[in-house]
Chains A and B, each alone.
Chain A
């Protein structure tokens, strides 16, 4: 095979791959903007003949209303990011830079969630949260998500703190700065990429997570986006699933993930690499 023919072949395969990967997403978006009657047609149309935002309007008013569910999802994700970040920045700093007593056993305990599937923790967490008044609360669900996300984040943070040159820290110490001051002035600016990685993965995981949200949230007004969409799948309005509304919801929950990914692609890859080498 000549190099040129090889290049065309690779190009053709790439075009095919991109098509296969993008078509389902495109189909979902197109379905969401079909007018109501067209969305229920059998057989379905590939490309909408008309354009309408009716599906989004119906979703906006579905049960407690789209804004409620988006806020629940955003709130949970925001709290997850906050908890994860505070806990792992401090612990990463401590583990990387201080002679912590029993350092290795402590680190193992911190990573325990890697070998305990969180699915096995949902029942006791559900009971605990009922006692603590955290059932049906965004804080409770964010705690579950933080527990899931903690090992990965801590690993990324610890690595990143370890990579900061000693000289910077020592210079600040000679100036008499306290350890918290050194963290703020020297380390935080140096570990910004790790912070972005941790925030990114925590946000995406929490925004997307389904089983924990399904179990923890029993009150319909506290549902997150994936849970209400799962319900919309089976909820019948005049004889069937409202397919265009379902796809409108899917489009809305996909868009933030894809935008964030496209903007911060390299943090995704570097995060995966650090996380997977554990």
Chain B
């Protein structure tokens, strides 16, 4: 009994540093976000308690809802490209031959570089006069005049960013899908083959249902990432034109730091966090139900 108490104490001692760290740098700041959201904190003058004013203001803030809708649009357009594209790549590359392994490794390379850095790289590639994309399109005779990809037309900007992000992250889903596909028992596929199913039929009727758990999971991770998008928009369009390409996090950042409306920014970030939490929980419940 004494030995067990001793082990309990030892266990608590090993866990304590990480636990205290999380309390201090995740739980406490999160509670403080709540407190700040109820004030007009601006760093300039002492903050005053304003109740739920910030949340009321947010409900009437067309710019915030515009940014939120824009973020949703980005998410809705990007997610299917990443999921379907990533899955097709995985189907093509799942077998362990030399060429396929190599291609998998190459497709994954952009995942390990920074999102900020890749955004700057694509900012240059898409640059109207100095960028290689316009140069190549002109040399191929596809366009006559350089296209102003970024920061002039919200739709063109959005698609340019989607291209860059697809390049950057498609390998992430692919790698996880490959692992899931490789875990499908051989016998299942062989049985389908004996029944005369074509490669495509086997992919859709056998492999896809058996890897659905992974697909849902990667979709969730990917959607959350898109809902929190910031770097690529901040660096490639800076929200232009007229903040029409500002995402939610971008708009929160603008309010908080350049505009120093910290209380308001905190309220907005709580609303966004709540939305993401509700989405996550719903998705998990649904995927658990479908798994049964």
Contacts and interface: CB of A to CB of B under 8 A. Distances in A.
B11 interface: yes
A146 interface: yes
Given A106-B19, A119-B228, A119-B230, A99 B7 contact: yes
B116 A210 contact: yes
Contact of B22 (A40, A150, A204): A150
* Majority secondary structure, A binding face: helix
Contacts of B122: 24
Contacts of A273: 176, 179
* Majority secondary structure, B binding face: helix
A122 B36 CA distance: 12
Given A14-B99, A210-B116, A46 B129 contact: no
Contacts of A46: 132, 135-136
Contacts of B32: 124, 127-128
Nearest to A232: B120
A119 B249 contact: yes
Nearest to B232: A210
Contacts of A121: 25-26, 29-30, 33
Given A116-B30, A211-B231, A98 B8 contact: yes
A116 B114 contact: no
Contacts of B109: 21-22, 25, 258, 261
Interface string A221-261: 00000100110010000001101001100100110011011
Contact of B253 (A13, A113, A211, A230): A211
B86 interface: no
A90 interface: yes
B176 A117 contact: no
Nearest to B15: A94
Interface in B246-292: 249, 252-253, 256-257, 262, 265-266, 269-270, 272-273, 276-277, 280
Contacts of B112: 204, 257-258, 260-261, 268
B176 A247 contact: no
Interface in B177-227: 179, 214, 217-218, 221, 224
Interface of B: 4, 7-8, 10-15, 17-19, 21-23, 25-30, 32-33, 36, 89, 92-93, 99-100, 102-103, 105-110, 112-117, 120-125, 127, 129-132, 134-136, 138-139, 167, 171-172, 175-176, 179, 214, 217-218, 221, 224, 228, 230-231, 234-235, 249, 252-253, 256-257, 262, 265-266, 269-270, 272-273, 276-277, 280
Interface of A: 10-11, 13-14, 17-18, 20-22, 24-25, 27-28, 31, 40, 42-44, 46, 83, 86-88, 90-91, 93-95, 97-101, 106, 109-110, 112-113, 115-117, 119-125, 127-128, 143-144, 146-147, 150, 154, 179, 204, 207-211, 215, 226, 229-230, 233, 240-241, 243, 246-247, 250, 253-254, 257-258, 260-262, 265, 268-269, 272-273, 276-277
Given A98-B11, A120-B272, 19 more contacts: A21-B171, A24-B125, A24-B167, A86-B17, A90-B15, A91-B17, A98-B8, A110-B15, A117-B276, A119-B252, A123-B262, A123-B269, A124-B30, A124-B36, A125-B29, A128-B29, A146-B25, A233-B123, A260-B112
